[in-house]
């Protein structure tokens, strides 16, 4: 279904400022549900623990594997014998969020997006009962990936009941993935680092989750907003699209993006900053995408059809005015790319 989108479709990454889910849903749906956008279920971490993506995802894990229940600690989340108050609250908030989303998108027939934390970000973030991060324990990492595969499929099934005419795209948010692969995550003491995880193990866990998403009938997108994400590994794992920060893009990775596009994958290009600050002009942002296409040897129409436009990351830390400006600017950039495509077509006619 993602390959049927109009060129340069726009979307958000997920997290938004504020504490009112109905206000956030209204903002996203008004901006994204008009044919050239993908409405993304908002996350509102300002509400507190349990409304963050790790807390939300951990709550879903415990529903399928009770042994993976979590509770909060002064530094984040930890596996526990029973779900803590914040973990139970995470599921309650998710239900409220989905109710608001369902009401706003009744009979919607386009693509919608929801996010879960990916297996390696969960492993890098959640502590074992002894205080170390789960990433140090191979068995725990394996259990997390297996539970996430089941939880993701169940989540998609629930979404299908709520929005039967929509196509679901499930995004796996993996901001910690590069650190997991580099072995740069600090231990509990801070005096050392957890060992790097072998590339084949990383790929296998991601593939397990992505295959479960595909089996449920949804598309799978992997979001990794750090510098130099592992493009080739993520594509081998089976994602339909990769979401990256194009403002941090290293030209040494051009070939990896080219391989992604040539194999039929899509690039979700983060082209505008997710935090308050100046926004580049429409023509400059159009040129950023067009120049990438030129370096890859793609015609403007080809690159426009292979790229979705987004902010660089979630916008929970931005002001509402910045969010509104970014969403408007993204749509203007999308129109600019489509206009270039149309002019090229007229010139060839």
pLDDT digits (tens, 9 = 90+) for 297-344: 887 667 888 999 999 999 999 999 999 999 999 999 999 998 877 666
- Note the pLDDT tens digit of each residue in 23-35: 999 999 998 867 7
Q: How many CB atoms lie within 10 A of CB 104?
A: 16
Alpha-carbon distance of 96 to 23, in angstroms, equals 13
Q: What is the CA radius of gyration of the chain?
A: 20
Instruction: List C-alpha distances in Å: 113 to 39, 41, 106, 126, 293.
Output: 6, 6, 15, 24, 26
Higher pLDDT, 2 or 105: 105
Full strand arrangement of the beta sheet holding 266-272? 37-38, 10-11, 307-311, 266-272, 241-245, 219-223, 167-173, 111-117
- Note the pLDDT tens digit of each residue in 244-280: 999 999 999 999 999 999 998 999 999 999 999 999 9
Calculate helix-pair angle for 21-32, 85-104, nearest 10 degrees: 40
Q: Average pLDDT of 174-182?
A: 96
Instruction: Evaluate if pTM is beyond 0.85.
Output: yes
Alpha-carbon distance of 322 to 213, in angstroms, equals 33
Phi/psi for 44 (5° steps) reads -125, 75
* pLDDT of 272: 97
First to last CA, the chain: 29
Alpha-carbon distance of 307 to 136, in angstroms, equals 36
Nearest Cα neighbor of 172 from 199, 190, 149 is 149
Phi/psi for 227 (5° steps) reads -70, 140
Alpha-carbon distance of 301 to 345, in angstroms, equals 8
- Note the pLDDT tens digit of each residue in 111-166: 999 999 999 999 999 999 999 999 999 999 999 999 999 999 999 999 999 999 99
Nearest Cα neighbor of 337 from 284, 286, 276 is 286
Query: Which strand (E) or helix (H) includes residue 27?
Result: helix 21-32
- Note the pLDDT tens digit of each residue in 85-104: 999 999 999 999 999 999 99
Write down the domain spans for the chain: 1-37+231-349, 48-223
Helix (H, G, I), strand (E, B) or coil at 314: coil
- Taking phi over 0 as left and psi of -120 to 50 as alpha, with beta for the rest, 228 belongs to left
3-state helix, strand, coil in the chain (%, to 5): 50, 15, 30
Alpha-carbon distance of 152 to 110, in angstroms, equals 20
Contact status, residue 114 vs residue 64, Cβ threshold 8 Å: no
DSSP state of 319: -
Q: How many CB atoms lie within 10 A of CB 199?
A: 13
């Amino acid at each position: 279904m993602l390959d049927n989108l109009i060129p340069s479709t726009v979307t958000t990454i997920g997290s938004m400022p504020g504490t009112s889910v109905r206000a956030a849903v209204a903002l996203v749906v008004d901006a994204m549900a008009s044919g050239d956008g993908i409405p993304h279920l908002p996350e509102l971490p300002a509400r507190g623990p349990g409304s963050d993506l790790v807390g939300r995802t951990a709550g879903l894990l415990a529903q399928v594997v009770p042994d993976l229940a979590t509770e909060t600690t002064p530094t984040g989340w930890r596996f526990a014998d029973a779900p803590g108050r914040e973990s139970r609250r995470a599921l309650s908030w998710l239900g409220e969020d989905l109710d608001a989303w369902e009401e706003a998108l009744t009979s919607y027939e386009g693509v919608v997006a929801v996010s879960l934390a990916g297996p390696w970000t969960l492993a890098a973030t959640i502590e074992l009962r002894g205080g170390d991060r789960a990433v140090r324990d191979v068995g725990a990492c394996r259990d997390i990936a297996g539970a996430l595969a089941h939880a993701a499929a169940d989540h998609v099934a629930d979404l299908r009941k709520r929005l039967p005419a929509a196509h679901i795209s499930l995004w796996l948010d993996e901001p910690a993935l590069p650190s997991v692969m580099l072995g740069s995550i600090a231990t509990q003491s801070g005096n050392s680092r957890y060992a790097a995880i072998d590339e084949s193990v990383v790929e296998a866990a991601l593939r397990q989750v992505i295959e479960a998403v595909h089996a449920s009938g949804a598309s799978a997108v992997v979001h990794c907003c750090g510098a130099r994400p592992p493009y080739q590994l993520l594509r081998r794992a089976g994602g339909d699209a990769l979401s990256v920060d194009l403002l941090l893009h290293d030209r040494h990775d051009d070939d990896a993006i080219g391989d992604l596009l040539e194999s039929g994958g899509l690039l979700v290009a983060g082209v505008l900053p997710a935090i308050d600050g100046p926004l580049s002009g429409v023509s400059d942002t159009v040129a950023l995408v067009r120049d990438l296409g030129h370096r890859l040897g793609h015609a403007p129409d080809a690159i426009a059809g292979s790229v979705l436009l987004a902010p660089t990351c979630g916008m929970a830390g931005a002001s509402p005015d910045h969010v509104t400006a970014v969403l408007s600017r993204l749509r203007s950039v999308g129109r600019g790319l489509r206009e270039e495509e149309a002019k090229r077509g007229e010139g060839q006619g």
